[in-house]
Amino acid sequence: MPEVRLVGPDGQQVGIVAIQDALRLAQEADLDLVEIVPTGRPPVAKLMDYGKYKYESAMKAREARKNQAHTIIKEMKLRPKIDPHDYETKKGHVVRFLNAGDKVKITIMFRGREQSRPELGRRLLDRLATDVEDLGFVEFAPKQDGRNMIMVLGPRKKKVEAMAEARAAKAAKAESEGRTRDREDAPAAELEIEPGDEVVEAGASAQESAEQ
């Protein structure tokens, strides 16, 4: 008669039982009999709610994918003779990317006679790397690539940390907005007037008040 090593729903060892008895126990407990180690001698089976097990496994996998960090490489293109305003704007984007835990590929595009002045591109890349050194580091040193010069900056902050900080900031903002709405919706305090109190209307003149 076929036998299985039976494990209870809470993980307790029931022991080796005939498969008919295992099926009977599963039916009495309104559970499923699931083979978990088919290569065992005898095979190992467990009493469980298989539908609930599949649902919980799917939710765990979904949560794991949600928290999984995917490093993204962003790209920022600059010209060797970029003006100060445009440089600050581009640098701001690089700072935002690094803060989000992403890598940034910086491309210097040379045109015409600029190709004979590669030191201009190198100087600009070195300047940018220095300006953002608190947030990122040079992962791939400046290198000439055809008409362009490229450099890759890596974030000092891990992607997982950046994602956690972003979620915390979003939650704090939502909580703050909720408190603001609560204050706006709160009824104005009413002025309680006790018997015998003197009341002067807002439109009354100073003379009328004095006469009273």
Range of the domain at 35: 3-52
Residue 121 in any domain: the answer is: yes
Summarised one tens digit per residue, pLDDT across range 47-101 is: 999 999 899 999 988 877 766 656 679 999 999 999 999 999 999 999 999 998 8
Clarify whether residues 42 and 105 are in a common domain: no
Residue 113 in any domain: the answer is: yes
CATH, residue 94? 3.30.110.10
CATH, residue 43? 3.10.20.80
Q: Looking at per-residue confidence, does 97 or 208 come out higher? A: 97
Clarify whether residues 13 and 78 are in a common domain: no
Residue 212 in any domain: the answer is: no
Q: CB 80: neighbour CB atoms within 10 A?
A: 20
pLDDT at 202: 45
Clarify whether residues 11 and 84 are in a common domain: no
Stated as kind and residue range, the H or E segment containing 121 is helix 118-131
Per-residue pLDDT at 189 exceeds 60? no
Choose the final residue of a domain: 138, 155, 172. 155
Clarify whether residues 40 and 83 are in a common domain: no
Q: 119 and 133 in contact (C-beta within 8 Å)?
A: no
Choose the final residue of a domain: 137, 155, 173. 155
pLDDT, the chain, mean: 83
Burial class for 135, CB neighbours closer than 10 Å (0-12, 13-18, 19+): middle
Structurally, the chain folds into a number of domains equal to: 2
